[in-house]
Amino acid sequence: SYLDAEEGCAGLHRELYQFCAYVQPCEAELSIRTQLLEQITCLLDSLCPGIVVEPYGSTACGLSLFNSDIDVRVKPKMPLEVVARALSGTSWARCVDLVPARVPIITFEHRHTKLTCDLSNFTDDEGDNATEVMVRLCRTQPMMQPLALFLKVFLSYHSLDRVYTGGLGSFKAYMMLGYWLEQCCKPKPSKLNRVEDAGVAICRFLVYYVERFKYDSVIELDGVATDFSRVRSVQEIKDVFRSTLNCLSKGCGL
């Protein structure tokens, strides 16, 4: 059974944590991101004194990769056309583009570091609540960060992370993981709270979303909900999860 043998996953546990350490931004990379936020804040403060530039999403909850875009927003709202013109006039922002999506954003590349930044001016309580849920999960669930980073790269590798093509997207993947950790880890919860069990945890997560979860249902955590009505690749996701589970379980001796 996938759920019985636990000692065989020590190697997988070590590899998951090594992988987590590798894909996270290092201190120098975090410092560069902080400096970029300060540059944006300084620029916009010259136009609107007191403006706040803050990270959100994966950047805010510590689930970004070393090569992730930086997602930031400005408060209070500023006309994005004004922000785009200001960025275009600097020596450090290039390829500035105002994208007229459902939630309009400005994308640009930092000339010196090649980091890509997505800037928006939305003021959305639901978005704030979602970030708070992810921050809490990372703080209270030892498995959240390593498994979330693995899942993020895993879905990207299989091209299942792109929302606009019917993929999951990071937020839904985080919600799936958080829901499983908090609502479904009933067997041996004390053991699942130990870091030694990361290998078993990822296998159990895959089992749940291959065999048990109903994708026409809604996941809710702390009043934040998500559904899968726009995820067109559910069967493909399940197939990839299943094949990965088979490989991992053989390696673990499960």
> Nearest-CA neighbor of 155 among 251, 230, 231?
231
Instruction: Kindly indicate the confidence band of residue 252, based on its pLDDT and cuts at 50, 70 and 90.
Output: low
Instruction: Kindly indicate the confidence band of residue 193, based on its pLDDT and cuts at 50, 70 and 90.
Output: very low
The pLDDT tens digits for 88-124 are: 999 999 999 999 877 889 999 999 889 999 999 876 6
- β-strands 219-221, 116-120 pairing: unpaired
Q: Are 57 and 69 in contact (CB under 8 A)?
A: no
| Least reliable range by pLDDT among 3-17, 111-125, 131-145, 168-182 | 3-17
pLDDT of residue 2: 36
Q: Give dist(CA 172, CA 36) in Å, integer.
A: 28
Q: How many residues does the chain have?
A: 254
Q: Across the chain, what does the average pLDDT equal?
A: 86
The pLDDT tens digits for 169-182 are: 899 999 999 999 98
Please check the confidence at residue 196 and state whether its pLDDT lies above 90: no
pLDDT of residue 102: 76
Q: Give dist(CA 215, CA 224) in Å, integer.
A: 17
Percent of the chain at pLDDT > 70 equals 88
Instruction: Kindly indicate the confidence band of residue 4, based on its pLDDT and cuts at 50, 70 and 90.
Output: very low
| Least reliable range by pLDDT among 47-51, 79-83, 121-125, 204-208 | 121-125
Please check the confidence at residue 6 and state whether its pLDDT lies above 50: no
Cβ contacts of 138 within 8 Å, gap of 6 or more: 61, 62, 63, 144, 145, 148
Please check the confidence at residue 65 and state whether its pLDDT lies above 90: yes
pLDDT of residue 253: 53
Please check the confidence at residue 243 and state whether its pLDDT lies above 60: yes
Please check the confidence at residue 13 and state whether its pLDDT lies above 50: yes
49: cis peptide before it, omega within 30°? no
pTM of the predicted protein model: 0.83
Percent of the chain at pLDDT > 90 equals 57
Cβ contacts of 143 within 8 Å, gap of 6 or more: 181, 192, 197, 198, 201
Instruction: Kindly indicate the confidence band of residue 59, based on its pLDDT and cuts at 50, 70 and 90.
Output: confident
Instruction: Kindly indicate the confidence band of residue 239, based on its pLDDT and cuts at 50, 70 and 90.
Output: very high
> Tokens 């309580």, residue?
125
| Local structure of residue 109 (DSSP, 8 states) | E
The burial class, CB within 10 Å (0-12 / 13-18 / 19+), for 235 is exposed
